[in-house]
Amino acid sequence: MKRMIIISFFLAMAVTLTAQEGKKLTILHTNDFHSHLQGFGPESAYTPLVADNDPTFGGLARIAGIIAEVRAENPGSTLVVDGGDCMMGTLFQALEPETAFQIPLMKKSGYDVVAMGNHDFDFGPEAYAGILRKASMRGEIPVILMGNAVTDPNDPADDAFEALLGDGLVKPWVIREVNGLKVGLFSLLGEDADESAPYAVPITFEKIVKAAKRMVKELMEQKCDVIICLSHSGVSKDKKGNWAGEDAELARRVKGIDVIISGHTHIYLREPLVVNGVPIVSTGSSGTSIGRMDLTVTGNGVRMDSYKMIPVDDNAKGLASIQEEIEIQKKEVDRIILEPLKLSYDMPVAEAPFLLNADELADFHGSSLGAMMADAIYYYVNEFGPGTDCAMVALGVIRDPIQPGVQSVADLFRVMSLGSGSNIVPGYPLSRLWVTGRELKNIAEILIMSSASTPAHFCYYSHLRIDYDPEGRLLNKIRRMEYTAPDGKVTEVNTSKDDTRLYSIVANSYMLDFVGIIKKMSLGLINVVPKDSQGNPVTDMDLMVMDFNADTPGLQEGKEWLALVRYLQQFAPVEVGGLPVIPEIYRNPPRSLAATGSK
């Protein structure tokens, strides 16, 4: 009897020690990858298979190499996930509806689970469903998660997406067995991301706290050892400089989440942001870094042992098999998309002697890249299209900086990579409408007001200069507007209600769509009536997309990224036979929107 007691004691001690030692789990994560299959910038310097100290960051071949190394170090205990927006951001996106190339390649690179983000819906829910369906036919794909999408059973426009949910090709949550642990994962798309997903309609998204509580409960009922939330909702800093945002609120209000992989706001968190005991992690964007979290799971819960950010740079050994597939796809992009435009993916266009940036987290008011993009659109429309009085571009659609060095077509596309039009050439088409001077002022007032809380709404102008008082009354901050004619003559814009002169303005179709809802945005205080060149009201903004070649049948759309290519091509080279060089004026450009008065 005494011997049995001793044996039982040692067995109990062994169980206790095992519980204290726990089981290991390594999580590798990215977010907001945005189809950056190649390292940048500029891409001409990217050599993923050679350690030659190239200055580029990112590239899926390098990511695959890092994943392979970590898996070799931690056999059977590594989980690789992405927090959403894996698509839309490079020329590769253009062929996704036809080839569904990227998702299977992410699986080959080592990804286990991928969440959906707002930009994954940019082709619309049916086209996105088609991409995922084709991807699954090409071979194995990661588990695709979307936990709070609400489809409309009465609208056929999301039937293909509903079918994916019914088939289990898209799941609200999943349980993965890793190193003897039941790891539950679910995904969310937050309110701000929802507002940035206009093409997801008729799909809507349930509030993330309510959805998270439901899915955490379901995963707990499945006796998961670890619960991970892939939340495409984001964190940000408030006006006092404290960390806030939807994912911070999620951590405060939902019990049972062990880790939040955060996306959408492109925040780079070198160390986890711990809120209510829950670590929130985010790697920035574009695959330039991979987060590594090492956990120990015991009977007492989940413990984070270490966390580090792994730079995806020239120190990473790229996988040749992944890069070979990317090179083949590049040739397809050339053949189908670029050759008809007399361009190619790697074609050098111009040289940048300095950095051009438009960063929402920095001094975006004086952005060199924003100013140059507005000028590029103005030049393109007046040289190759039907012409305009002024051009405008919003900070939120400028996606990548221009790094110093030789800029290829691929580099310049990344700057303005969002959207699609009526043809296979990627990018939002350019649209034109006419407004009075007073309406032009009202548009600018709304943009100034909304950019105070949402920097993405800040706008850059070409051939239009606006002086405003940041301390002025609501919707009455603008003091003076000046229009510069093509001959260089500067005149003040008459903003009187009685002045009927019309000004044409050009921007991408997505941006100009908001003009028709300004009355709603201003709660009825401001109204702008979009017009055609004859002053007739326009209700269908699709009719305002410009035709860049009226002699060719069909609509020949102009694109922002093409405007940038054509604009840079006309600059002078430093030496005969050299590449055009971006001029010094864009190092510190004059501001088209100037804050005056006290701050």
CATH no. for residue 318? 3.60.21.10
Residues present in the chain in total: 599
Token reading at 217: 């409960």
Residues 397 and 461 in one domain: yes
Q: 217 and 157, same structural domain?
A: yes
Same domain, 310 and 367: no
pLDDT on residue 520: 65
Residues 232 and 155 in one domain: yes
pLDDT band at 420, cuts 50/70/90?
confident
In percent, the amount of the chain with pLDDT more than 70 equals 93
Enter the tokens of residue 302: 């989940």
pLDDT over threshold 90, residue 467: yes
Give the pLDDT band of residue 524 (cuts 50, 70, 90).
low
- Of 301, 323, 345, at which residue does a domain stop? 323
Highest mean pLDDT among 305-319, 352-366, 447-461, 470-484: 305-319
Choosing from 274, 303, 323, the residue where a domain stops is 323
For residue 230, list its beta bridge partners. 187, 261
Residues 312 and 391 in one domain: no
Instruction: Quote the domain boundaries for residue 575.
Output: 353-595
- If asked whether residues 557 and 422 sit together in one domain, one would say yes
Give, for 2, the enclosing helix (H) or strand (E).
helix 2-21
- Does residue 362 lie within any of the structural domains? yes
Residues 273 and 408 in one domain: no
Is 228 in the same domain as 357? no
Is the pLDDT score of 19 beyond 50? no
* Residues 371 and 304 reside in one and the same domain: no
Give me the number of domains the chain comprises: 2
pLDDT at 517 over 90: no
Asked whether the predicted pLDDT for residue 494 surpasses 70, the reply is yes
User: So what's the pLDDT on residue 474?
Assistant: 80
Q: State whether 85 and 222 are in the same domain.
A: yes
Q: Tell me whether residue 334 is in a domain.
A: no
In contact, 212 and 250? CB cutoff 8 Å: yes
Question: Vertex 369, ends 566 and 593: CA angle to 5°?
Answer: 115
pLDDT class of 521 with cuts at 50, 70, 90 = low
In a domain, 152, yes or no: yes
For residues 106 and 11, what is the distance between their CA atoms, to the nearest angstrom?
Answer: 45
- pLDDT tens sequence across 270-310: 999 999 999 999 999 999 999 999 999 998 899 999 999 99
Q: Is residue 345 part of a domain?
A: no
Residue 3 falls within a domain, yes or no?
Answer: no
Q: What is the mean pLDDT of the chain?
A: 91
* 73 and 112 fall within a common domain: yes
Q: State the CATH number of the domain containing residue 587.
A: 3.90.780.10
Task: Please give the residue that has the higher pLDDT: either 239 or 296.
Answer: 296
Work out whether the CA dihedral 86, 92, 98, 103 comes out positive or negative.
negative
CB atoms within 10 A of CB 334: 17
Q: Report the C-alpha gap between 203 and 149 in whole angstroms.
A: 6
Are 319 and 359 found together in one domain?
no
Query: What average pLDDT does range 237-259 have in this prediction?
Result: 93
Q: What is the pLDDT of residues 104-134, one digit of tens each?
A: 999 999 999 999 999 999 989 999 999 999 9
* Res 90 pLDDT > 60: yes
